Amino acid sequence: MQTITILGSTGSIGVSTLDVIARHPERYSVFALTAHSRVSELAQQCLQFKPEVAVVGSAEAARALEPLLRQQGLSTQVAYGPQALCAVAAADGCDTVMAAIVGAAGLEPSLAAARAGKKLLLANKEALVMSGQLFMDAVAEHHATLLPIDSEHNAIFQCLPQAYGRVPEAHGVARIVLTASGGPFLKRDVATLEAVTPEEAVAHPNWVMGRKISVDSATMMNKGLEVIEAHWLFGAPADRIEVLIHPQSVIHSMVSYVDGSLLAQLGNPDMRTPIAHALAYPERIASGVGPVDLAKIGQLQFLAPDFQRFPCLKLAYDALASGGSTAAILNAANEVAVQAFLDREIGFRMIDQLIQRVMDRLPGRTVSGLDDLLEQDREARRLARDCITS
């Protein structure tokens, strides 16, 4: 029986994780559920899964959650704040942590899980993008098990040898190929992108995701962050990580080998597949996702990405090449820019321009530890906000 903490249980990944868990009550139980402010949704999840602990973002949210749980006769302990997130991620009561908090807020609890030697299912790409070597060192030093949940990285993981060990040369790996849907604006006239609304940007053609990730998909920053994540997960240099637009979202990613073989993982666009794979690894369990009907799909298309249409992808490659804290600066600026776009403070094409401005004005530096990294994150956010308001 695996006991699981879900960081970000009311988001799309958290909800999908609970769906898979509910299908296998003989295999999984829930130790802790966390949400930032969706108190009523969290209370309903607690009623169904009866965790020992529920964590919310603030004292106000905790005061709202507590009576909802007691009215249902639940003894679930309620806690709040960043320290509580880290505590449930590292607690002895769980052995597996689903890290599904979006953005930089997920870094510290994800790192806490790694340092506690947990089986860590990483859906929060920003944590690894920001901390890179620091994160991978923590995984290795504390003998944690790191399994990727992003559909692309999980697909790559499935296409690599089990004893891969982040050494592509030792296993004949020539290239890692990340596929991308191209988002909602793949065929839209580039000249009209300035007029894009938040409602249009979050309307992804294939995937059901949160608003921030949906905007990242529309700009292809999501894929840029995945390039950086793939570098750290699989030990491949930037020039051996390729992005290929695949509008059908059936092939989730591929691995090219030196003998000319190209291995791909296919599946319907449903996050329950990689979640089920990671939960049960190295076994396979039912996820609730049906098989791909290739005859119905008919054909699969592939396109090279256009940096004029998707400049954020180029910025991510630049950040990876620069090293140090540059990826953390990129991520911080992007989070601020996306939120400003969703709040209608800036236009869609201002997202990449704002990120570029922050990267130009705040050079990356060598990261000596978590505090140094978080200071760079804060500085980038301050600069991004100044650029918006000035």
Q: What is the pLDDT of residue 183?
A: 87
Of the chain, the end-to-end C-alpha distance in Å amounts to 55
CATH number of 2-148: 3.40.50.720
Q: What percent of the chain has pLDDT over 90?
A: 87
| Cβ neighbours of 305 (radius 10 Å) | 19
d(CA 312, CA 308): 9
Residue 208 has pLDDT above 70, yes or no: no
Contact indicator for 335, 377 with CB cutoff of 8 Å: no
* pLDDT for residue 362: 94
**136-177: per-residue pLDDT in tens?**
999 999 999 999 999 999 999 999 998 898 999 999 999 999
Name the pLDDT band for 64 (thresholds 50, 70, 90).
very high
Give tens-digit pLDDT for 177-205.
999 999 899 889 999 999 899 999 988 77
Q: Quickly name the fold that domain 323-390 has.
A: Rna Polymerase Sigma Factor; Chain: A (1.10.1740)
- Per cent of the chain over pLDDT 70 is 99
What average pLDDT score do residues 354-380 get?
Answer: 93
Domain positions in the chain = 2-148, 151-269+291-310, 323-390
**pLDDT surpassing 80 at residue 10:** yes
pTM of the predicted structure, to 2 decimals: 0.92
pLDDT at res. 379: 96
In this prediction, residue 390 carries a pLDDT of 81
Is the confidence at residue 233, as pLDDT, over 90? Answer: yes
Residue 114: per-residue pLDDT: 97
Mean pLDDT of 270-290: 97
- pLDDT for 81 equals 96
The answer on pLDDT for 207 being more than 80 is no
d(CA 53, CA 99): 16
Report the 3 state secondary structure along the chain: CEEEEEECCCCHHHHHHHHHHHCCCCCEEEEEEECCCCHHHHHHHHHHHCCCEEEECCHHHHHHHHHHHHHCCCCCEEEECHHHHHHHHHCCCCCEEEECCCCHHHHHHHHHHHHCCCEEEECCHHHHHHHCHHHHHHHHHCCCEEEECCHHHHHHHHHCCCCCCCCHHHHCEEEEEEEECCHHHCCCCHHHHHHCCHHHHCCCCCCCCCHHHHHHHHHCHHHHHHHHHHHHHHCCCHHHEEEEECCCCCEEEEEEECCCCEEEEECCCCCHHHHHHHHHCCCCCCCCCCCCCHHHHCCCCCECCCCCCCHHHHHHHHHHHHCCCHHHHHHHHHHHHHHHHHCCCCCCCHHHHHHHHHHHHCCCCCCCCHHHHHHHHHHHHHHHHHHHHC
Instruction: Check residue 317 and give its pLDDT.
Output: 97
Q: Which two tokens stand for residue 65?
A: 């959650």
Nearest to 82 by CA among 51, 64, 107, 63: 107
Q: Per-residue pLDDT for 344 more than 90? A: yes
Render pLDDT for 92-144 as a digit per residue (tens, 0 to 9).
999 999 999 988 889 999 999 999 999 999 998 888 999 999 999 999 999 99
